[in-house]
Structure 1
């Protein structure tokens, strides 16, 4: 599939013109939807455009909210303390004034642009004269899978949203209102079930089609959609299908899961396809966005792991996943980095190198992530690419590390959660312990509520910085009946106390108050279980789209 991406960069500029363009005479250099979709090649190219809509090829369209979700959780800080934090702080620090937040405005807009592409694909490819009926049905199923994913991204961030299921002109959506979250989820379920009935298994695709939606991806995402709604029996059934169909397995080494050398590995159900190209923006951005500001190649340092997350690994004795998830200042090695000497040399060129070594008692042969520029002086290892594997042009939209959206370890842990909720603790433990065994952790033998806690902890340790944590702590209920996030955040939240109590607060995080350590202290459960609807969308709808409670 990656071979199609270069052609997409040229094709998309021709196909996706404004709705008004379709109402006037044809313009040379543009395609008309009424005359497109006549060949298999045109249909396939358009669906490739639907895949491109996962990120729209830029760092600011979608990646910002992927990172924002981590910043709003106990796993992440905004991190960069040398530049304006306006894009993130209102929401990441629960200030209650994020209605005009640029990140979520872009996210909303581009998720709906992706839905528009998918709506067009579903409608027009179904009517295409292409002769290969099986191929036609598969392309429609791919578009339905992607549409379901885009709506899932919207509903889990905003709650109920306008449900647009066809290609509508601007005047046809005037006065549109928000559908309920239940109706949006029902639409997602229907799309995913229909897609799963048609899509091939991963093993049935040609190598050139690697990265396309599969039956396993549709079923895996459907299982997550059920889980989010606490439809435990449905989740258990569909996730067991993924397991029993035996298309996926855990990678032997945890460090290979997010390796640039193991894109589309045997654990991956679905991931964003990236490749390096010197001219076109066909690569990823998170490696650079989250990289250290003073590291070789340099980065932007937006989004950094918390000391609280690091402590969770330490408390669990989970040294393997810790080293493949967090790179910490003062370290004397980076997991998987064979040219660590370059990081030492870079550190020694810092003006404060000796001052830091003396102050913190670091080994002189260490890598320094400048504590003065980085809130936690830690960066995300999962997005990191070793020096010798970096492309010639090391920049945003150039990194060939695929972004993993859904993988088999997630499926096993979701299945364990559903089984535990249904009282099938034996099956839950079996799935849970498969994930733990890979990183040499002892089997969990607990049952009931203690097993539930173990599964939840495992999700945090296994899936950190994979855009799951915020949504997990929002949907889970704690022993006191409150959402987990309500016990982590707020004036009495355990996460807030961890970061402000002299007994537990982290040295680097506390010294750098370029980002306040009391993040989450103003969390309001009645408001902050979802993001605000972007104010621009409410204004443009003349008020037919209403705001979420608490956002004024």
Structure 2
């Protein structure tokens, strides 16, 4: 897949053709890739598909920055945003204005992904001379990608404009919002169609990282949990397990290492590469490492944008001497006096300026070495532990709490923790599932705001765990009284589509 992602030069073509602007396909490209000459060969089709995959790399979509850090883990209060710039503080304090920079970037980036996927589905689907099996697999991948872009949109915004065909200069661009159910139905349909076609494993090493049957089924289970369709969630989760493709790795740290990418625990991830001078890389190492660290440990600078809050550190289970037992901590966190997992010469000082890390802790999940170019570390989108915990949640809802707790204990065993009783009741089992989500997925899309929000646990969680809860002033923010809590439709989106109406609780446009 590194080779697959590296060959992304034609994604610029998709950027020009897969947009919703009024100049869509009206400007003739200066090179040979025109509308008349493209989509003729399998190479053209694969290049277009790469463009749809490429949108995953954007920090605003699936780069684990805007979603996983700015929104998921900062809003739940377990990550602290060191920069404290205005748009980040707005998210941290749940102020959520419609002109928030990061919310707007995410909305736009996700629709760019939808647009690119629509181009592939429509254009490749219409190619007459393309091998039928190849065509089906390309279209299935594009439907998977469209589904996960829309999954994130409906997850955060509720009903949004539902666009399933390529737009052009004559298209009506003032598109009203569909209902949330209509969007969920489309996501479900795309994932089912993708799961029916995609292979469980791609046979060629160069294709590692492409969407698979397991990835589509894993997302289906997430859809069903949102829709409280416990039977379907159970079936989808069981189907992923029964593929016998995935497993927990014995060592938690090894899951995230660049030298061990696309391992058996990764169901789907955003692919990056430090090759080609880091053009296809990311800046997560820079965002992770402490500001002020020596260049021998980071190479091109460090920002320590997101650091663990002490309330999350304090939630780790400890032995009788007060030492953290949970191997997940030792796998991806370092604190005062502790050395980096790979660069053992780097030791966190016992005292430090706030710019280094306000809380004393650093996440090292995406910071593994010094680099002068963009990092090639992949970012997890779905890991097998999430599949298992989603499966456990569905089991619990179907009255099988003992089976659910066996799965929870499997996660805990890998973390080096004692098993919890199998006799917990339904509510206690759900609490146990959520406790493992919280400790397992720091700075990943799972485990924080969205998971809490879909079960109406978010406000209770931050009331219990955020030390600054009183400052948030929940009662003065009507959008926090809605269920589920939704982000505002961005003002920038309304400026180009006056058919949009704002979500409940927010000031109207």
Q: TM-score, normalised by structure 1?
A: 0.83
Q: Aligned to 1:257, what secondary structure does the other structure show?
A: helix
- Deviates most, 140-149 or 124-133: 124-133
Q: Deviations over 1:160-199 (max 9, x none)?
A: 1111010022552333111111111110000000000000
| Secondary structure in structure 2 of the residue aligned to 1:404 | strand
CA distance in 2, matches of 1:520, 1:324: 32
Asked if structure 1 preserves the Cα contact closer than 8 Å seen for 2:79 and 2:306, the reply is: yes
Task: State whether residues 14 and 30 of structure 1, in contact with CA within 8 Å, keep that contact through their aligned partners in structure 2.
Answer: no
Of residues 488, 491, 495, the one that matches 2:465 is 495
**Correspondences of 1:389-408 after superposition (within 5 Å):** 390-391=370-371, 393-394=372-373, 398-408=374-384
Aligned residue for 1:508? none
Q: Does 1:138 align with 2:141?
A: no
1:438 aligns to 2:414 (yes or no): yes
Larger Rg: 1
The 8 Å contact of residues 80 and 375 in structure 1, kept in 2 or not, is answered as no
How far apart are the structure 2 equivalents of 1:531 and 1:57? 18
Take 1:523 and 1:212, find their aligned partners in 2: how far apart are those partners? 45
Q: How much does 1:373 deviate?
A: 5.0
2:496 to 525, 537, 540: 540
Equivalent in the alignment of 2:433: 455
Residue 4 (structure 1) aligns with: 4
1:74–1:488 Cα contact (<8 Å) kept: no
C-alpha displacement of 1:374 = 3.2
- 1:423 to partner: Cα distance: 0.4
* Structure 1: stretches of 5+ with no match in the other structure: 348-365, 477-482, 501-516
Alignment counterpart, residue 340 of structure 1, candidates 322, 344, 355: 344
Contact kept? 1:62, 1:110, Cα under 8 Å: no
Question: Which shows bigger deviation, 26-35 or 407-416?
Answer: 26-35
Name the CA distance, whole Å, in 1 between partners of 2:60 and 2:111.
Answer: 16
Quote the Cα distance in structure 1 between the aligned partners of 2:471 and 2:63: 25
Count the aligned residue pairs.
Answer: 487
> Are the counterparts in 1 of residues 192 and 220 from structure 2 also a CA contact under 8 Å?
yes
Which residue number corresponds to residue 77 of structure 2? 74
Counterpart of 1:173 in 2: which secondary structure?
A: coil
- Compared CA separation, residues 460 and 170, structure 1 to 2 (3 A): farther
Partner Cα distance (1:210, 1:60) in 2: 18
The 8 Å contact of residues 230 and 398 in structure 2, kept in 1 or not, is answered as yes
Query: How far apart, CA to CA, are the structure 2 residues paired with 1:411 and 1:278?
Result: 34
Please say if residues 281 and 376 of structure 2, whose CA atoms lie closer than 8 Å, have aligned partners that are also in contact. Answer: yes
Aligned counterpart in structure 2 of residue 265 of structure 1, from 263, 266, 279: 263
Q: What is the distance in 2 between the residues matched to 1:76 and 1:407?
A: 20
- 1:486 lines up with 2:459 in the alignment: yes
3-state SS of the aligned residue for 2:362? strand
The yes-or-no answer on 1:376 pairing with 2:376 is no
Tell me, which stretches of 5 or more residues in structure 2 are unaligned?
A: none
Aligned match of 2:505: 550
Render the CA deviation track for 1:451-494: whole Å, top value 9, x for unaligned.
12111101111122212211111122xxxxxx3221234xxx22
Cα RMSD (Å): 2.4
Measured at CA, do residues 60 and 189 of structure 1 come closer, stay the same or move farther in structure 2, by a change above 3 Å?
A: closer
In structure 1, the residue matched to 2:304 is 301
Deviations 1:80-101 (A, max 9, x none): 35xxx122111221225x2111
Q: Greater shift after overlay, 184-193 or 280-289? A: 280-289
C-alpha displacement at 1:372, in angstroms? 5.0
- How big is the shift at 1:58? 8.1
Secondary structure of 1:77's aligned partner: strand
| TM-score under structure 2 length normalisation | 0.89
- Give per-residue Cα distances to partners, 1:64-107, cap 9 Å, x unaligned: 233212111131111235xxx122111221225x2111111111
Instruction: Give the 3 Å change call, closer, same or farther, for CA 415–369 of structure 1 in structure 2.
Output: farther
Asked if structure 2 preserves the Cα contact closer than 8 Å seen for 1:196 and 1:215, the reply is yes
Confirm whether residue 193 of structure 1 aligns to residue 172 of structure 2.
no
CA distance in 2, matches of 1:406, 1:370: 35
| 1:117–1:30 CA distance, 2 compared to 1 (3 A) | farther
Return the alpha-carbon distance in structure 1 between the equivalents of residues 501 and 139 of structure 2. 32
